[in-house]
């Protein structure tokens, strides 16, 4: 697999090496030893979730409080989606920076989302299915929902018609409100300061 650093420190786009033949195709979606060498820490799956979405469905931006914290390995196993991650770690030098990637079943690409980073996506086909491999189990009351239309983030969703979205997401708090409430994790809590060493050219963007 090939790991490419994103604009968000500690987050990576993973592209597998595919081995097609007359029978079909084969590839390793994740190999723990190589993957952990890339991210510089253990990643032990504790829960696996799937979500199915109609075309033009928007889900996110979602994160988890620290503690308990939760890292995600996100893969589109059917259809296609525009995947968006946002640095929500207060004190991070790239706080508010986002990175956008196309994930689709044909490419097998995945995105690793570290603790404290927000995640969302826009489905581009009907019956899009996304798989989340999670580093912690679901704990009620720990989810953080950030408004995907927050003007301070100005995320490039790219939809051409109003998307399907839950009331919870559509009326979620802004980043500024999340900072004021003390909801978001800090850069120090997520212990990813050294991630900048692997991403020296990461773009900088600051939310007012």
Which tokens belong to 197? 């060493």
Closest CA to 63 of 150, 134, 4, 152: 134
Active-site hit among 98, 132, 138, 171: 132
Is 54 assigned a catalytic role?
no
Active-site hit among 27, 50, 54, 62: 62
Contact by Cβ (8 Å): 51, 80 = no
Name the pairing type of β-strands 2-5 and 110-113: unpaired
- Contact partners, residue 183, CB within 8 Å, separation at least 6: 65, 144, 173
- The structure tokens 């996100």 sit at 74
Is 73 assigned a catalytic role?
no
CB-count exposure of residue 123 (10 Å: 0-12, 13-18, 19+):
buried
Which tokens belong to 128? 């899009």
In whole angstroms, give the CA distance from residue 197 to residue 39.
12
Contact by Cβ (8 Å): 50, 59 = no
Closest CA to 11 of 46, 35, 34, 28: 35
User: Could you list the active site residues?
Assistant: 62, 132
């Amino acid at each position: 697999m090939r790991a490419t650093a994103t604009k968000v420190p500690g987050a990576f786009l993973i592209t597998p090496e595919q081995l097609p033949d007359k029978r079909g195709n084969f590839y390793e979606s994740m190999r723990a030893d190589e993957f952990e060498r890339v991210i510089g820490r253990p990643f032990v799956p504790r829960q696996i979730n799937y979500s199915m979405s109609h075309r033009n469905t928007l889900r996110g931006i979602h994160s988890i409080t620290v503690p308990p914290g939760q890292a995600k390995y996100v893969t589109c196993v059917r259809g296609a989606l525009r995947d968006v991650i946002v640095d929500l770690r207060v004190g991070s030098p790239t706080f508010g920076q986002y990175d956008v990637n196309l994930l689709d079943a044909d490419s097998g690409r995945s995105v690793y989302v570290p603790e404290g980073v927000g995640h969302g996506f826009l489905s581009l086909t009907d019956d899009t299915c996304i798989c989340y491999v999670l580093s912690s189990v679901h704990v009620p009351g720990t989810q953080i929902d950030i408004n995907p239309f927050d003007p301070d983030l100005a995320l490039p969703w790219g939809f051409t018609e109003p998307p399907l979205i839950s009331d919870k997401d559509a009326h979620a708090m802004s980043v500024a409100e999340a900072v004021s409430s003390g909801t978001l994790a800090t850069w120090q809590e997520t212990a990813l300061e050294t991630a900048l060493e692997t991403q020296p050219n990461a773009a900088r963007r600051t939310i007012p």
